[in-house]
Amino acid sequence: MFDVLNEIGIIAQLSRSLLESRLGDGLTQHHFGALNHLVRLGDGRTPLQLARAFQVPKTSMSHTLAGLEKRGLIRMEPNPEDGRGKLIFLTDPGRELRDRAVNSITPDVAAMIPEFGNDEARAILPLLRKLRILLDESREVQN
């Protein structure tokens, strides 16, 4: 099992490097991850919700969000339920940057299909999801 997790870790490093080479402007996978999370799950998340989702300290997420806000990719609004808190919303440029990043990496992913194949990808996906769920449940027990 260690070897499986080690391979996944190496794959994560390689895919992060590929993604970051397409983002430009000093943006990182952390920036993209936050934008992608907001696209997938919707706007109006708090920094703490995002920090928990990414399993990083709130201060790290606040730093990531500050970089996105500085670039005009998100906007922060006061949380009406918590006067001290903020809610995070994607801007049109933020959504466009996320979409451009996905589109720019698509040819790289498509180039892998002849070597890896759609059938193999479909076959491994349920196993990877199962592993993710097990790791996620383990994380909840640890906290």
Q: What is the CATH number of the domain that holds 46?
A: 1.10.10.10
Q: Is the pLDDT of residue 3 over 60?
A: yes
- Range 27-38 burial, b when 16+ CB lie within 10 A, else e: bebbbbbbbebb
Q: What is the pLDDT of residue 138?
A: 85
pLDDT band at 136 (very low <50, low <70, confident <90, very high): confident
The tens digit of pLDDT for each residue in 46-76 reads 999 999 999 899 999 999 999 999 999 999 9
- Contact criterion met (CB below 8 Å) for 76 and 88: yes
CA distance 16 to 8: 12
Q: Is residue 55 part of a domain?
A: yes
Q: Is residue 126 part of a domain?
A: no
pLDDT band at 25 (very low <50, low <70, confident <90, very high): confident
Q: Is residue 124 part of a domain?
A: no
Q: Is residue 73 part of a domain?
A: yes
Q: Is the pLDDT of residue 139 over 80?
A: no
Q: Find the DSSP H helices in the chain.
A: 2-23, 29-41, 47-54, 58-70, 92-116, 118-142
AA letter at 47: P
Q: Is the pLDDT of residue 140 over 80?
A: no
Q: Is the pLDDT of residue 142 over 70?
A: no
Residue 77: domain span? 2-103
As for how many domains the chain has, the answer is 1
